[in-house]
């Protein structure tokens, strides 16, 4: 399970956890029916449908437990308007003349493909505490990249 007990989420991230939890709760009864139907098919040792449904139910139950825990102990942190990059900040940076938006979040909410970067990532750590107009050089696996902060909201 999860180690730390200090989980911070944006409002959006916490709402997404709740939505995922509710969707799994709604889906679970159908998976139980699928498992029951597969069990009735006979020899369980060679019943791929039974094993697949059993695995799916196990994964759903495990994720539901994890989400219940996160929803219980997680804290929604409101982003206070700030002139420095901090948790929850939406930051627009310029990299080689190209504008890129990011939101600074914790690891459980991070999704780089959606522009949500973790406070513990190379880029997230480098941006934290800086102001508009500052340039930050970040050593990434492909070399050094310079990020110029254009906006913070």
Q: What does 101-153 look like in DSSP terms, one character per residue?
A: EEEEE-GGG-BGGGTEEETTSHHHHHHTT-BTT-EEEEEETTEEEEEEEEEE-
And the tokens for 70? 């996160």
Best CATH choice for the domain 90-152 from the list 2.30.30.140, 3.40.50.920, 3.10.50.30, 3.40.710.10: 3.10.50.30
Could you tell me the pTM of the whole model?
Answer: 0.80
Domain 8-76 in CATH 3.20.20.70: no
Domain ranges for the chain: 8-76, 90-152
- Which secondary-structure segment (H or E) carries 71? helix 48-73
> For the segment 34-86, what is each residue's pLDDT rounded down to a tens digit?
999 988 887 777 778 888 999 999 999 999 999 999 999 999 998 767 899 99
Q: How confident is the model at residue 6 (pLDDT cuts 50, 70, 90)?
A: confident
And the tokens for 151? 């906006």
């Amino acid at each position: 399970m999860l180690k730390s007990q200090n989980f911070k989420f944006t409002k959006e991230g916490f709402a997404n956890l709740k939505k995922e939890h509710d969707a799994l709760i709604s889906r679970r009864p159908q998976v139980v029916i699928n498992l029951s139907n597969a069990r009735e098919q006979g020899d369980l040792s060679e019943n791929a449908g039974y094993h697949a449904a059993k695995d799916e139910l196990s994964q759903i139950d495990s994720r539901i437990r994890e989400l219940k825990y996160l929803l219980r102990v997680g804290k929604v942190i409101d982003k206070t308007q700030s002139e420095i990059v901090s948790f929850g900040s939406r930051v627009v940076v310029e990299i080689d003349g190209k504008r890129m938006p990011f939101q600074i979040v914790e690891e459980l909410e991070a999704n780089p493909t959606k522009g949500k970067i973790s406070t513990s990532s190379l880029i997230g750590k480098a941006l934290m505490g800086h102001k508009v107009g500052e340039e930050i050089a970040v050593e990434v696996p492909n070399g050094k990249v310079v990020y110029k902060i254009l906006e913070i909201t």
